[in-house]
Structure 1
Amino acid sequence: MKQHPKLAALAVVLEKGKLLLVRRKNEPDAGLWGYPGGHVDLGETALAAAVRELREETTIIATPITYLTNVDVIISNETGRVDHHFLLAAVLCKFQSGTPTAQDDVAEAEWFDFNTVLNAELPMSKNVDTVLQIALQHMRNGASSNK
């Protein structure tokens, strides 16, 4: 049986100078901080999946704004065989309401200052800082999740 990359969506939520991150319970990336998100269901857009997964994992309500970037996550074992391949669609989301509460497959959900992320002060999944930089540049160019 031929394997294919799995499509997933990430919810990038910025609010009042802070970024919402979750600490994963399960592999891959167990114990690391990253964006709320998960699989895209058949017939569901990545925009819709991002806000659905956000709500399921953190109880935060948001609306999708735009796609920011795509991130390939390819994890190989010691023999070089690919164990996991995810294509992650990073979606900028506008915060609506809620207080982060860890649900589903996350251990913690918290708001962090941008500099905490950009200075790599947390154990994070790959590309969390890069996606934040893209989101901040997008906001500087006219789109804001705080309006």
Structure 2
Amino acid sequence: MSTIRPTVAVLAVVARSDQVLLVRRANPPDQGRWGFPGGRVEPGEPYREAALRELEEETGIAADAPALITVLDFIEHDGEGALAHHFAMIAVRCRWLAGEGLAADDALETRWFDLAEIATLGTTASVKVEFLAKIVLDSR
């Protein structure tokens, strides 16, 4: 039996006009890939507050009105098949208020992408980026 416990984390999915904000990750998992700002939920911290905090820490973007989109499991195994990581990622839609996005904390860079640009990212994007972007942009 594995001693690895699932880690609860958030993804802040922010739309502005017909674009979503992505960051290129500085650290594992998904180091060097484009994904949504986010990170671990701190003990005692509601997931909505965690999403707004992570968004501000990584990008300087101000947002409000966090709302649950979905929860995604990211489970990875090592070369022998043993569990290496398990993240329960809570995807949260946030309403953009201000800021352009300046890379900070564990983000190498930030950029606003439309769906056509996201479709060209291929393996340089984290899993489910296009899926979540479509949900948020199509629901406007």
- Which stretches in structure 2 are left out of the alignment for 5+ residues? none
Amino acid in the other structure paired with 1:99: E
Give the secondary structure class of the aligned counterpart of 1:115: helix
Residue in 1 that maps onto 2:127: 126
Distance in 2 (alpha carbons) for counterparts of 1:126 and 1:114: 15
Residue in 2 that maps onto 1:48: 49
Q: 1:2 Cα shift?
A: 3.4
Alignment of 1:16-27 (within 5 A): 16-27=17-28
Distance in 2 (alpha carbons) for counterparts of 1:35 and 1:21: 5
Residue in 2 that maps onto 1:143: none
Distance in 2 (alpha carbons) for counterparts of 1:129 and 1:36: 14
Distance in 2 (alpha carbons) for counterparts of 1:75 and 1:64: 32
Q: 1:31 Cα shift?
A: 0.7
> Deviation digits for residues 99-141 of structure 1, max 9, x if unmatched?
2100011100111112211x233510001111112223433xx
Q: Name the % identity.
A: 40
Residue in 2 that maps onto 1:85: 86
Normalising to structure 2: TM-score of the pair? 0.92
1:51/1:64 contact within 8 Å kept:
no
Moved over 2 A (4+): 136-139
> Deviation digits for residues 65-103 of structure 1, max 9, x if unmatched?
310011111111111111111000000000011121000
Give the secondary structure class of the aligned counterpart of 2:125: coil
Distance in 1 (alpha carbons) for counterparts of 2:80 and 2:3: 19
Give the secondary structure class of the aligned counterpart of 2:92: strand
Residue in 1 that maps onto 2:4: 3
Give the secondary structure class of the aligned counterpart of 2:116: helix
Give the secondary structure class of the aligned counterpart of 1:43: coil
Q: 1:42 Cα shift?
A: 1.1
Distance in 2 (alpha carbons) for counterparts of 1:127 and 1:85: 16
Give the secondary structure class of the aligned counterpart of 1:47: helix
Normalising to structure 1: TM-score of the pair? 0.88
